[in-house]
């Protein structure tokens, strides 16, 4: 993660004499509507990939999956005008 709000992505390059190519992606979200939350998500992701300590707000992947499943069930309930049972997620 770069200080200027960009990421450098390395793509594997199988051509002889090449190891990878680099792509710089601007992820500067300083003016986002989430109060900087998007940038903190990116920072947590980069820390996780590097094996570094993540922030206290970083969740385990299963907790994130369960949260999404609950949101999908809520959408189904709203669209179908009915109660949707959520199976035991544990």
Provide Rg for the chain, Cα atoms.
19
Q: Average of pLDDT values for 6-15?
A: 86
pLDDT digits (tens, 9 = 90+) for 13-58: 888 888 998 998 887 666 565 667 777 788 888 888 899 988 887 8
pLDDT value of position 79: 92
pTM above 0.75, yes or no: no
Q: The tokens 């992505």 sit on which residue?
A: 9
**Torsion-angle region of 16 (φ positive above 0: left; ψ -120 to 50: alpha; else: beta):** beta
């Amino acid at each position: 993660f770069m200080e200027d709000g960009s990421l450098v992505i390395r793509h594997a390059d199988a051509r002889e004499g090449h190891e990878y190519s680099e792509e710089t992606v601007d992820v500067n979200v300083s003016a986002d509507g989430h109060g900087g939350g998007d940038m903190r998500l990116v920072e947590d992701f980069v820390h996780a990939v590097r094996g570094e300590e993540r922030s206290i707000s970083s969740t385990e992947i299963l907790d994130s999956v369960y949260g999404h499943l609950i949101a999908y069930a809520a959408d189904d309930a709203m669209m179908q005008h009915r109660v949707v049972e959520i199976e035991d997620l544990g």
